[in-house]
Copies of this chain bind each other. A is one copy, B any other.
Amino acid sequence: MEKIDKYPIYVEPFHVDFTGRIFMGVLGNHLLNAAGNHSQRRGWGIGALNETQHTWVLSRLSIEMEEMPRQYEHIEVKTWVESVMKLFTNRNFAVLRPDGTPYGYARSIWAMIDLDTRRPCDLLSLYDGDILNYIVSEEENICPIEGHGRFRFKDAELARTIDTYYSDVDINGHINSIKYIEHILDLFPRQQFEQGIRRFEIAYKAESYMGDKLSFYIQSVSDKETDIEVRKNVGHEDKPQGEVVCQAKVKFN
C-alpha cells in the first residue's frame, strides 16, 4: 500500500466564515478525519485499536496556511507519517488547492494510550512495528513549516470563562478537540479575521468534560500573535489555579 493518502474535501457553505474562507476548526476536523482514515486503511485505526483496548490521542496540531480555502472549492488533504518514536508519532499534512499547489501545511503529534490505564503505549511494538513500514522517506516529506513551538506563560490575563454544553462533547464524553479551536478563535474581534489566520498551534494537555468551566487566558506576543492558555474549573477550593487543558497560539496575517 502507498504511504501517502490524499482525501478530497469540498468546502461547504456553512463551513466558511464571514470572509468566505473555511473555518480553522472545520479545516482541523478535515485533517483529523484524514489522519483517522489513513490509519484505518492500514489497520491501526481507532476501530482496530479499540479491540485491543488502545486508542490514538492527539497531542499537538500546528497548521500554517498561505491562505484559507474558499467556499465551494474542491481541495485535497494529503497526509503521511513523518516519524515514529517509542511513545509518539509525527504525522504531517498538506492542504492542496484545486490546481494542486499548496494552500498550506500542518504537523501533528499523536500518542497511543491504553484505554484502561490511560497511559501511553509503545508504538514500535504496535502490530509488530507495522507503522514503521509507512514512514515516508525524507524526499517525500515535504512540510516546510516550523515545528511545534514551546509555550511560556508569564503574564497571561483572563479573557473569558465559559460553560460547556452538549454540543461541545464527543462520543467519549470529552470536550472535542475541534471545539477548543472554535472557542479560542471566538476570543478575537471580527477585524482580526479580515486579514486571515496565518498559523494556528494547539497543545492538548488534559481532558475536560461537559459541565466543566473553561477559562481562557491570553498573552499578547505581538499585534498579530497571541498565546492562549485554557484552564478548567479555576477557583475551586482544592485547586484554585484550575488545571491546564490546552495551550494555543494564533498568528494573523
Chain A contact residues, CB within 8 Å of chain B? 12-14, 16-20, 23, 25, 29, 32-33, 36, 46, 71, 165-173, 176-178, 182-183, 185-186, 188, 190, 193, 210-211
User: Which one of A171, A188, A190, A211 has the highest number of Cβ atoms from chain B below 10 Å of its Cβ?
Assistant: A171
Q: Copy number of this protein in the oligomer?
A: 2
Known: A33-B12, A33-B13, A210-B18. A188 touches B166 (CB 8 A): yes
B residues near A12, Cβ cutoff 8 Å: 29, 33
What are 26 of the A-B contact pairs (CB < 8 Å)?
Answer: A12-B29, A13-B32, A13-B33, A13-B46, A13-B170, A14-B29, A14-B32, A14-B177, A14-B178, A16-B170, A16-B171, A17-B166, A17-B167, A17-B170, A18-B169, A18-B171, A18-B173, A18-B210, A20-B171, A23-B167, A71-B171, A166-B190, A166-B193, A167-B185, A190-B210, A190-B211
